Amino acid sequence: MNEVSIGAVGAATIAGLVSMLGLIIGKEQKVSEFRQIWIDQLRKCVVDYLVSINAVCDILRSRDSGKNSDNSALIENYKLLNEASHGITLRVNDDEQPAKALLAAMNEFELLASDNKTLTPEKIKAVESRFIRESKALLKFEWNRVKKGEKVFVWTKRIILAMIVLLLALLGYVWVGSSNYSPLDSGSDAELHLIFL
């Protein structure tokens, strides 16, 4: 009876752990899916930001060359630039180093764009290369986070694996201890021979 109750408790515990692990994996999978969507939206904002700032530069260069340019196109591109800038700012965690570096590169763009006369293709290319490098670093950082899993998932997985190893060790200990038990503790060889006949 003792072995049956230990086995039942062990099986129920393992079933409970597997069920809990399934719930945590399901929840963390959803979080990872949402994080991937977030990364895709951040990537779109980065592209929109670069496209808009280059469009503004093209319009200003066209204006400087003497061509008539419509201010509505300039205003529209500044609007798109601001939208992309706010989209990036609201999506990143400014406490993390990759996000800080990206925001610093954005600040360089903002300073450059504050005066239309300094907004030249040469100056934009210099700032743009840093912005692209920092964007790639942030996107890679976030992708690695998705690939690794959320902190809760990583720690839960470690704890459950440790518990399974401990339960298996306990089960092995109980099984080895019960297999060493013999009802004929001190019988002679002759008695054993008679029992098996």
> How confident is the model over 86-116, as pLDDT tens digits?
999 999 988 999 999 999 999 988 888 777 6
pLDDT tens column, 153-181: 777 778 778 877 887 888 788 777 776 65
Q: Are 10 and 171 in contact (CB under 8 A)?
A: yes
Is pLDDT above 60 for 192? no
Give percent of the chain above pLDDT 90.
20
Higher pLDDT, residue 48 or 121 = 48
Instruction: Report pLDDT for 194.
Output: 43
- Within 10 A of 114 (CB to CB), how many other CB atoms are there? 9
Instruction: Report pLDDT for 195.
Output: 47
Output the DSSP codes for 148-187.
H--HHHHHHHHHHHHHHHHHHHHHHHHHHHHHS--S-TT-
Structural domains present in the chain: 2-177 (1.20.120)
Instruction: Report pLDDT for 159.
Output: 79
For residues 51-75, give the mean pLDDT: 79
Instruction: Report pLDDT for 181.
Output: 55
Instruction: Report pLDDT for 197.
Output: 44
Is pLDDT above 60 for 189? no
Instruction: Report pLDDT for 147.
Output: 77
For residue 19, give every residue at least 6 positions away whose Cβ sits within 8 Å of its Cβ, in sequence order, or none. Answer: none
Is pLDDT above 90 for 119? no
For residue 186, give Cα distances in angstroms to 50, 79, 181: 87, 93, 12
For residues 129-138, give the mean pLDDT: 91
pLDDT tens column, 7-32: 777 778 778 777 877 777 787 778 77
